Amino acid sequence: MVCHPGVDGEAVLHELDRAGIQVSTGSACSSGEPGPSHVLTAMGLPPEDAHASVRFSLGEDNTDDDVTTIGGAVPPVVERLRALAGPATRQSA
């Protein structure tokens, strides 16, 4: 799981999906359930940070190029979403 404070995890999910990258906003055992990940909140993450988190699942079929693609796609998505959210969100992130 990766937390992007100040950004809604669902928005990150949809933007990455448009780029062909599939992620989830919940734990693997509760995919499809609404609300913050119960695993993250049980670990002490505040609900707003749990809502700002996405899960990347990688396996043996993923390549170094896949990881490079993900690494290049995530920062501009998060920056764009933070810019849309406004200055107060950028200051808290």
Known active-site residue 29: yes
Catalytic member of 20, 29, 61, 63: 29
Instruction: Give the 3-state DSSP-derived string for the chain, with helices as H, strands as E and coil as C.
Output: CEECCCCCHHHHHHHHHHCCCCCECCCHHHCCCCCCCHHHHHCCCCHHHHHCEEECCCCCCCCHHHHHHHHHHHHHHHHHHHHHHCHHHHHHC
* Active-site residue set: 29
